[in-house]
Structure 1
Amino acid sequence: MPAHLPPMGLDDLHRFAVPADPALRPDGGAVAYTLTTTDVAADENRTEIWLAAPGAEPRRLARGSAPRWSPDGRTLAFLRPVDGRPQLHLLPMDGGEPYAVTDAPLGAGPARWSPDGTRIAYAGPAGPAPDLDAPVVVRRLDYKADGSGLLRGVTTHLFVVDVASGESVQVTEGDFHAGEPSWSPDGTRLAFVTDLDADRDLRPGGAAYSVTLPEPLRAPVAGLASEPASEPASGGELERLSGPELLVGGVWWLGGRLVAAALKGGPVGHVRLYALGPDGAAEIETGLDRNVMTGHPGYPGASPALLGDDLVFCARDGGHTHLYRIRGDELAAKIVPEEVGVAGASTAAGRVAYVAATPRSAGDIYLLEPGATTARRLTDHAPAGVDLYVPERRMFTAPDGTEIEGFVWRDANATAPGPLLLDVHGGPHNAWAPVLDAFRVYRQVLAARGWTVLAINPRGSDGYGEAFYTAAVGAWGLADTQDFLAAVDALIAEGVADPERLAVTGYSYGGYMTCWLTGVTGRFKAAVAGGAVTDLTSMSGTSDMGLALKAYECPGDLAAQSPLTHVGEVTAPTLLLHGESDDRCPVGQSEQWFAALRERRVPVELVRYPGASHLFQGGGRPSHRYDYNERMIAWLEQWAGGSRS
C-alpha cells in the first residue's frame, strides 16, 4: 500500500456518498440520480437528487429520492417527505422551484409518467390512517412486514394524478396489495402485480394484472371498491394477464410487448423473463443459466428496459451483476465487459445510464453511448484520501470436487500467517461481489491491522447456475458447511491463515451460518452474528416470511437444520448484533442464542438496536451502522486478533 495514503478507517464510513436509481433524460443527455450521504449531527441518512452530464460537474438539484423524467424531459418528478410522508413533487427543469403534486394522507410512491405526460401513476398506501393505540386483530399470516411493522389493515394500491390540476384518484381498491404500475403504450391501462387468492398468506404467489383506467378519472374502478362509488366509473375490472404456472415478481410494458419477471415451477429458483400475450406466457430465451436481477433492497439489479428494439436486463454472473442485451433473435450478451456490480439502470435515445460499484468505488454513474463498448464515468463518488485493499479473486475446491468462488482482502505485503475472518453473506441466495461496500468498512480496517478477510459464495449462492442456486434447499448447514471449511483450510495450507486465530461473521443467513459453524466445529475462536437465525422452528412462526422459509427453503426436519440443536458444543466467544424491530429474523432468534451461551458461561454479548429493521446494517441510522462496525472489530481483535500463544 503506498505510504502517502492512509488505509480506510472507521470514521470513513460517514464519508461515503452512494448513488442509486439513475434516470436518463429522454434525449439521453443527462442522468438524474439519488445520492445518499450521512448527516452525522442529525444521525440520519441524507438523500438528494443530483444531475450528471458528459463534460459537466455533477450538481445537486433537490432534496428527495426516486427521480423520474416526464416524456418531454422538461419536468422531473421525485419523492420528498412532507410532514413525515413521502409526496410526489415536480421540478421544472427550465426554471422554478419544486412543488408538491400530491397530498396523500399516507404518502405516495415513485412516479410512473403516462406516455403523453399528462398523468402520473404510483403505488402507495391506501385506507384510513391506522390508530396506533388500537388492538391489532389478525386473521392471516401477512399482518406484518419488515421495515413497516404491523400493517394494521393498510394496503398498497394504484393512484393516478392529473399533472395539470393535481387531482389524484385511486384506481384500485380492495383487500390486496398492488405492485408498481406500468403504463400501456396507449395510456389507457396499468399493468401491475398482485395476489388475489384468499389464502395468499399460506403460499407464495403473484400474478400480472391490468386495469383499464376510468374516463374521466373521477372514482375508483367499478367493482374494486369496498363501497359503491359516488359516481359510476367507466374503467374495467381487473384482467389477469399471467397463468398459475408463473409466480410473477414484476411486469412492464416495453413498447408493444408485456414482459414479466417470474419464477416457474416453484418459489425457489432462477427468475426468468417472459412475454405475456393472449396465448399465454412465452419464455424469452437468453441462453444464460443465470438469475435475472430486477433490483431489491440488498440485492442489485434493475428493471428490464428497451434500448431501441433491444431488450436490456440485469443478471448475476459469479459475484458480479451485469447488464445484458438481447438483439433480435440473438442470445443475451453483456453490454460492457467490466467486472462491476450494477445496481440500477435506465435507457433513452440509444444510451444506457447505470450505477456500478467497483473494487475502489461503492458506486458511480456511467453512460454508454450508442455503438460504444466502454462506458463513460460521469461521477467520482469514491472515497478520497485513502488507499483501499482490493480483493483477490480465488477459486477453492470443496471435498466433493465442487468449485467455489471467493474473494480475499489482505495486505499484499503480509507474509506470515495471521488472523482470518470468514465473512458469510445473507440470503442464502445472495452473493458476495469484489467491490467496495459502503457498510462493511470492517474489511478494510481489519486488513490494515493484519487480518485476512475471506468472503466466499457457497452452494446456495446466486450467479453460478440454478443447480448451484438450489443446492442447499432443505439442507442449510448440511450442504454448505464443507464449502466454507474447504476455503479456510486452503488458506491455512498456504500459510495465509493462522489456524489458532480463526473468526467467523455474517448477517441474516450469514448469522445463521456463523452460529451453525461455531456449533458443529470448535475451530473458530470468535464469532459475530448479525440478524441471526438460530431456531428454524420458532422462526417459522414469528418471521414475516416464516411459512415460506419452512415450506420452501428448509422443508423437512427443522431441528436438524437449526444451530440451536448444536449450541451445547459452542465455545467461541460470540457477539450478537440485532435490530429491535426486525420482523424478518426477529430478535428472539438472538435472544435464544444469547441465553443458551450465557447459561453455559460462554463469553457472549447481545446488542439490540432500537427501532432498527432487518436491513438497518445497510440503510439504518448512521450511529447504528458505525456502532456495528466498531463493536465487531473490537470483539474480533479481543478474542482472535492477538499473537499466537
Structure 2
Amino acid sequence: MRTRRTGTAAVTAVAGLTAGLLLGACSTTGPTDDRGAGTPGPRPTAYASTSASPTKTTPPPTTSTPAPSETKPAPDPASVAALIATRYNAGTLRLGRERGSTSAYRQYFVTYESNGLRISGRINIPRGNGPFPAVVLAHGYVDPAVYTNGETMLRERDRLARQGYVTLHIDYRNHAQSDKDPRNDANLRAGYTVDAINAGLALKKAGYVDPDRVALVGRSMGGGVVYNVLVVRPGLFRAAVAYAPVSSDTVDNFDKWVRRDTSRAGAARALMGRLGTPEANPAAWAATSPRTYFARITEPLLIHHGTADEDCPIAWSRESVAALRAQGKSVELDVYPGGRHTLTSPQWDTSIRRTEAFLAKHLN
C-alpha cells in the first residue's frame, strides 16, 4: 500500500480522513471522460455516480407477518444499502455488428440485460484461443444527450485488448442504445453501479472469458462506480483501477456539481426532500457513500491521479486512500505531478504500464 510519484518525486504521506459520501452530479464545469487520445468532449450538464433504477430489494419472508415494531423501512434507493440488497440479474452478452477490428482483436457492438434493462456497449475480443482474462470499463461523464456507443476510453480498450484482455466498455443506462431509466437522476444514478455489476456477471458467463480473472477499470465518474461496486459486491472482481476518480464522499460531489447548478435544481430539491440537507441529516447522506462501507472491500485497488486535475481534486483521492488504509485495505495511489484530469503522454503511457503490471499481478 504505497503512494508513488512519477519521476524523482518521493513517496507521499497520505493523511486526513473526512466523513464520507460519493455519487456526485455535474454541471457545465464537471468532469468529462476522455474521447480517444485525451481530447475532452463537451462539458457535462449533469453528473453523478449512481442510481438504483430497477433495483429489486430482497422481499421479506412470507411465512409470517412481523409485528409493526419489527418492520424496517426499505433503504432509500440512492443508498448503498439498497444496492447491497439488490438481486442482480445479468443476461448473456449478445454480439452485434463487428466494427473497428484490428489484427490483434475483434471488436463488436454488444448488449446485455441488467436487471430488466438492455445495456449497450463495445467489446474487444483478442484473436486466438481463450479463455481470456477480462476487464469491465466504466467511463466518465459525457452528457447522455450527445454520448454515442463506446466513444470513450478508447486508449484503455485498445491497449488492454492488445495485451490479451477481453475489454467490455459499457454505455450505462440512458446512454447510446441502452434502455432508459427515468428514476436515474433522482437516485444519484445508482443504476450505473447496477450496470457495472451485471457487466461483470455477464462476462463471467461468456465462454471466451476466464471467470476467475475479471477486473474493473473506471475513470472520473466511473471511478466512483468502481468504489460503489467494490463495496456492494466484494469478490465479484479480482482487482480494480480508478483514474482521476470523483470523491468517495457523496456530499463532495453533490455540493460541487448539483447543489449550486441551477439546471439541476429539481434534482437537488428531490434529493434533499427525501434525505434532508447534508447539514441537517448527515447520517442519511453517509448512507449513500461508499466510503462509509469501505470495510466491505476485499479487492486490491490502484488509483491514478494528477496533481493539477481541474475537475476532481487529488485531495479527494488522498482522502479515499487514507480511509481505505484505515480499514487495512490494499490500495496504491500513483501521483502524476502536473497531470490534468485526462492524463496525456508520457504520463498516460506510464499509467497504463502500471495498470498492466497491477492487473497481471492480481489476475494471474
Please tell me the TM-score bracket, short chain as reference. 0.5 to 0.7
TM-score (normalised: structure 2) = 0.62
Q: Which residue of 2 aligns with 1:494?
A: 206
Q: Which residue of 2 aligns with 1:394?
A: 110
| Residue 410 of structure 1 pairs with residue 125 of structure 2 | yes
Deviation for aligned residue 1:481: 2.6
Equivalent in 634, 637, 641 of residue 357 of structure 2:
634
Aligned ranges 1:7-406 → 2 under 5 Å: 298-299=40-41, 359=100, 387-400=103-116, 402-406=117-121
The residue matched to 1:611 in structure 2 has which SS? coil
What residue identity is the alignment partner of 1:482? Answer: V
Equivalent in 334, 338, 346 of residue 611 of structure 1:
338
Aligned partners of 1:561, 1:550: CA distance in 2, in Å?
19
Task: Tell whether the 8 Å contact from 2:302 to 2:358 is kept in structure 1 after alignment.
Answer: yes
Equivalent in 182, 186, 194 of residue 474 of structure 1:
186
Cα gap change, 1:606 to 1:634, in 2 (>3 Å): same
Task: Tell whether the 8 Å contact from 1:432 to 1:455 is kept in structure 2 after alignment.
Answer: no
Aligned ranges 1:455-470 → 2 under 5 Å: 455-462=169-176, 467-468=180-181
The residue matched to 1:391 in structure 2 has which SS? strand
Q: Which residue of 1 aligns with 2:225?
A: 513
What residue identity is the alignment partner of 2:245? Answer: A
Q: Which residue of 2 aligns with 1:568?
A: 295
Aligned partners of 1:476, 1:300: CA distance in 2, in Å?
21
Higher relative strand content: 1
Highest RCO, 1 vs 2 (Cα 8 Å, sep ≥ 6): 2
The residue matched to 1:410 in structure 2 has which SS? strand
TM-score (normalised: structure 1) = 0.36
Q: Which residue of 1 aligns with 2:346?
A: 623
Aligned partners of 2:27, 2:163: CA distance in 1, in Å?
46
Q: Which residue of 1 aligns with 2:47?
A: none
Q: Which residue of 2 aligns with 1:453?
A: 167
Q: Which residue of 2 aligns with 1:111?
A: none
Aligned partners of 2:292, 2:220: CA distance in 1, in Å?
18
Unaligned stretches of 5+ residues in structure 1: 1-202, 206-295, 302-338, 340-357, 361-385
Q: Which residue of 1 aligns with 2:244?
A: 531
Higher relative helix content: 2
Task: Tell whether the 8 Å contact from 2:150 to 2:171 is kept in structure 1 after alignment.
Answer: no
Q: Which residue of 2 aligns with 1:31?
A: none
Task: Tell whether the 8 Å contact from 1:506 to 1:530 is kept in structure 2 after alignment.
Answer: yes
Deviation for aligned residue 1:532: 0.9
Deviations along 1:122-145, one digit per CA (max 9) or x if unpaired, are xxxxxxxxxxxxxxxxxxxxxxxx
Aligned partners of 1:575, 1:550: CA distance in 2, in Å?
32
Task: Tell whether the 8 Å contact from 1:539 to 1:589 is kept in structure 2 after alignment.
Answer: no
Q: Number of aligned pairs?
A: 259
Aligned partners of 2:42, 2:142: CA distance in 1, in Å?
15
Aligned partners of 1:611, 1:544: CA distance in 2, in Å?
23
The residue matched to 1:422 in structure 2 has which SS? strand
Deviation for aligned residue 1:443: 2.7
Deviation for aligned residue 1:576: 0.8
The residue matched to 1:447 in structure 2 has which SS? helix
Cα gap change, 1:517 to 1:596, in 2 (>3 Å): same
